[in-house]
Amino acid sequence: MFEDMPESRAREILLGLVDEYWQRFHAHAPKDGRIDYAGRVYDSAEMRLLADSALDFWLTSGKYTQLFESGLAKFLGARYCSFVNSGSSANLLAFMSLTSPLLKERRIMPGDEVITVAACFPTTVAPIVQYGAVPVFIDITLPQYNMNVDALEGALSKKTKAVMAAHTLGNPFDLAAVLRFCRKNNLWLIEDNCDALGTEVSIDGKWVKSGSVGDIGTSSFYPPHHITTGEGGAVYTSNPLLHKIIRSLRDWGRDCTCLPGQDNRCGRRFDGQFGTLPRGYDHKYVYSHFGYNLKATDMQAAIGVAQLEKLPGFILRRRENFDKLTELLSPYSDRLILPQPCPDSRPSWFGFLITCAPGVDRNAVTAQLEADGVQTRTLFAGNILRHPCAEGVRCRVFGGLDNTDTVLRQSFWVGVYPGLTGLQLEKIAASIVRALEKSKT
């Protein structure tokens, strides 16, 4: 078929077939009637770029990775972005970068403290524990579900080096207050932005994207997230030194900044002096950190490039869906505590988080929803300290975790993702109302 044909023409034919394949087998794929809390939203553009990247067969990070990284950095208003293989890897990398000897006296050392919350996704806290630093847990406020900034001063100690927490389901924590606290006390700030891509906050009268305010931000592109690359994540910063450390730790810990397939980018591959290595030791194999390989593939990045184009539309849909659920459920606010955006923010919602008022059985409500075919989720760990993984872990709690425990027992969330229709949102609300009616009798 491809005989005597230039490669570009052969590729055009194959990619044209991918379009047709999507149209025939994906565009109108039958659904099982279940209302998911999240899902991939894509069309032939994603499949086409994925196939294009597969035909390149470069496999590791390459041209699509660079496009995705620069596109995401631009969207966020961050100077640098590094694509990685998951949001958990992004958190690991963000935290580990703050332990680099290159940061001198500001580096986080084992035994140093990091302020965070227990109403969390586990891999926001895991890197702190795994490194031997000490998480200090403060409570959250309801119904914002983010750290109570009034507790920050009390949680501070001589050992505090950083604040690291997520913007809960798209709702940002009070970034202006946390930033002020961090600057005043010379602390690092890591924003786990995995569930909040596109959220905006007003800082000093200027609207900026969450994830770009602190020293480092992280994203996840696992399928339920705002955009997907299958598996995937990102770490972003505007600090050149942190960026250098992040790249080193992501790419095996090496000192060299050559891209995959590149040699001698710096032009000094064989004439540097590093540590006590012999002069001129091959720079490609000089290690400034004990690092990892957390890179993702170019095929994942290719999907991300197409998803980025759709991101502004996705964010709008998420906001509309959130508003619709608020409208439908407001009449029941005596029995359901509905979510509220943090002041001075425009959240890019990940989900619609509800807390059942005292006397309403959360498990009965979610059982009804699931029986009606509506997928529900808890706020991840609820309270991470009550999980088996926390047993024996060195940590500190400041000021009690009452609201965190309320979330553990009484909260659940449903979806607002762009794939939901108006009718599906009505069905979600109707199912919740049915559960409330039943719980009355």
Q: Which residues bind ligand PLP (CB under 6 A)?
A: 86-88, 91, 121, 123-124, 166, 192, 194-195, 220, 222, 233
Question: What number of CA atoms fall less than 13 Å from residue 1's CA on the CB side?
Answer: 6
Which residue type, as a one-letter code, is found at position 278? P
Which residue type, as a one-letter code, is found at position 351? G
What DSSP element (H or E) covers 113? Answer: strand 113-117
Q: Which is nearer to ligand PLP, 52 or 192 (CB)?
A: 192
Q: What is the smallest separation between the CB atom of 428 and ligand PLP, expressed in angstroms?
A: 21
What is the spatial distance between Cα 261 and Cα 254, in angstroms, rounded to a whole number? 15
As given in the structure block, the two tokens for residue 166 are 């997520």
User: Which residue numbers are catalytic?
Assistant: 225
Q: Which is nearer to ligand PLP, 234 or 436 (CB)?
A: 234
Query: Residues 149, 174: contact at Cβ < 8 Å?
Result: yes
Question: Helices 44-56 and 63-76 sit at what angle, rounded to 10 degrees?
Answer: 140
| C-alpha distance from residue 289 to each of 131, 265, 276, 435 (Å) | 14, 20, 15, 54
Which residue type, as a one-letter code, is found at position 355? T
Q: What is the smallest separation between the CB atom of 370 and ligand PLP, expressed in angstroms?
A: 20
Q: Which is nearer to ligand PLP, 88 or 355 (CB)?
A: 88
Q: Which is nearer to ligand PLP, 116 or 403 (CB)?
A: 116
Q: Which residue is nearest to ligand PLP (CB)?
A: 87
As given in the structure block, the two tokens for residue 260 are 């995959």
Q: Which is nearer to ligand PLP, 51 or 249 (CB)?
A: 249
Query: Residues 412, 362: contact at Cβ < 8 Å?
Result: yes
Which one, of 218, 267, 237, 224, lies nearest residue 41 by Cα? 224
Q: What is the smallest separation between the CB atom of 138 and ligand PLP, expressed in angstroms?
A: 17
Q: What is the smallest separation between the CB atom of 122 and ligand PLP, expressed in angstroms?
A: 8
Q: What is the smallest separation between the CB atom of 123 and ligand PLP, expressed in angstroms?
A: 5
